[in-house]
Amino acid sequence: MSVARFVTKRVVQGVGVVWGVVTVVFALRFVTPGSPVNAVAPLDASQETRRAIAVELGLDQPLYVQYLQYVGDLLRGDMGFSYVRGQDVARLVFLKLPATVELAVAATVLAIAISIPLGVLSATRRNQPADYLATLFSLGGISTPNFWLGIMMILVLAVQLGLFQTSGRGVGFPGVLAAVVGPEPFLDTLLSWLSYITLPAIALGTYFTALITRLTRSGMLDELGEAYVQATRAKGLPETLVRYKHALRNTLIPVITVLGLQLGTLIGGAVITEAVFSWPGLGTLVIQSINLRDWPVLQGCLVIIGTSFVVVNIVVDTLYAHLDPGVVYD
């Protein structure tokens, strides 16, 4: 199967999955207790006021009409209107998406920068102190809840030592980019950005770091025992070349797959980290929307998160087949 056909097939499947997500998200509103009217009306609102609000929100329409209306609007790029905030949902959601992507990418970069060298070190120094330390780190990283780690880092590194900001996003990465060409001092802006993003990126990325470290270590151990590695050594290649040019490259194929999938998970799974650090992304918007019972915004967030996951999956599958000649597009 050609790449084009493979991608087309996956996109069609992806559309089906997104449609499923949209349908489930829409249905959730009706199986969850509590009328959306209660999100708008005060507790002591009269029944007349409640009925008027329901009519204004279109909640008096039959369910299938509301569903078809919602899907139709989505196809036109209209994610609806937040009756709680009185604002356009698409704008709200897309304004928050960059912050979540920024945090997810920062966590991923941090994880890659730490985990791959650590995994290689652990594998090449098997059963030595470095290996034990790396294993202990990865075990700790996988076992530590990110909300606890976040709170502890805030208490020690931000409140006690004053090294970082406790919460918020500051200027964000776009602010750093703007400082490259703008009048703001670049180094100050960069450091300010780092003071905001470092702790949430560590909190979000620690589990991921530990996971990739273990994956890299086991992959390297497998590859180092392969016949082709013995052959390269027999040819007299330096050990550095054997490890990094041959063994590591093959190890990275499954690592890249996990990296890609994990990026999708990070976009959707940053809810707790964003809440702990008041990071103004989709996760915080999800929490706020649940608290406000703002269903249109919650639906918008979940659709975007679901779609992001599907898109990342398609890209990773395509890349995987491209990176590993042993895999055929089927």
Partner 1 sequence: MSLDDSRVDRRDLLKYAGAASAAVLAGCTGDGGDGGSGGDDGSGSDGDSGDGGDGGSGGDEEGEQLSDVNVGVTMGQMDSGLDPHDHAETNTDIIVSQAYEGLMGREPDGTIVAALATEWERVEAGTARFTLRDGVTFHNGDELTAEDARYSIRRIELEEVGGALPQAGDLVGAGSLDGVEAGDGEVTVGFAGLNPIVFQLFATNGQVMQQSWVEENDTDFINRNVNGTGPFQLAEYDSGNEVVVERYRDYWDGPAEVASVTLNASSESSTRVNRLLAEESDVVTNVPPQEVSRVEESEVASINPVPSTRVIFLQMRYDVEPFTSQEFRQALNYAVDNAGIVESVLNGFGASSGQPTLEQFTGYSPDVEPYPHDPERAEELVEQSGFAGAEIELQTPIGRYLKDVEIAQAAASQIDSLSNVSCELNQREFSALVQDITTGEIEDKPAFNLLGWGNGEFDATQTIIPLMTSDGALTILKNDEVDAMVAEAQNEADPQAREQLLQDLNAFLHDLAPWVFMHQQFSVYGVSGEIEWEPRADEIIDPYRARPQ
Smallest distance, Å, CB 218 to partner 1?
Answer: 26
Cα within 13 Å of Cα(74), Cβ side: 23
Angle at 85 between CA 79 and CA 89, to 5 degrees: 15
298 near partner 1, judged by CB under 8 A: no
Q: Which residues pair with 82 in a beta bridge?
A: 87
Which of 69, 124, 195, 313 binds partner 1 (CB under 8 A)? It is 195
Report d(CA 314, CA 329) in Å as an integer.
12
Q: Among residues 82 and 122, whose Cβ is nearest to partner 1? A: 82
CB–CB of 74/23 below 8 Å?
no
Which of 17, 18, 84, 221 binds partner 1 (CB under 8 A)? It is 84
DSSP state of 306: H
What is the per-residue binding string for partner 1 in 209-248, x denoting contact by CB under 8 A? ----------------------------------------
Report d(CA 51, CA 162) in Å as an integer.
52
Q: Among residues 133 and 287, whose Cβ is nearest to partner 1? A: 287
DSSP string, 131-144: HHHHHHHHHHHHHS
Q: Decide: residue 107, CB within 10 A, 0-12 exposed, 13-18 middle, 19+ buried.
A: buried
Smallest distance, Å, CB 119 to partner 1?
Answer: 18
Q: Among residues 67 and 94, whose Cβ is nearest to partner 1? A: 94
1 near partner 1, judged by CB under 8 A: no
118 near partner 1, judged by CB under 8 A: no
Which contiguous run of DSSP H or E holds residue 94? helix 89-124
Report d(CA 206, CA 144) in Å as an integer.
8
Q: Decide: residue 97, CB within 10 A, 0-12 exposed, 13-18 middle, 19+ buried.
A: middle
What is the per-residue binding string for partner 1 in 244-283, x denoting contact by CB under 8 A? -------------------------------xxxx-x---
Smallest distance, Å, CB 158 to partner 1?
Answer: 6
Q: Which of residues 40-69 bind partner 1 (CB under 8 A)?
A: 40-50, 52-53, 55-56
Q: Among residues 185 and 238, whose Cβ is nearest to partner 1? A: 185
Cα within 13 Å of Cα(233), Cβ side: 12
163 near partner 1, judged by CB under 8 A: yes
* Residue numbers at the binding site for partner 1 (CB under 8 A): 32-35, 38, 40-50, 52-53, 55-56, 81-82, 84-88, 91-92, 95-96, 109-110, 113, 151, 154-155, 158-159, 161-169, 187, 190-192, 194-195, 198, 275-278, 280, 284-285, 287-288, 291-294
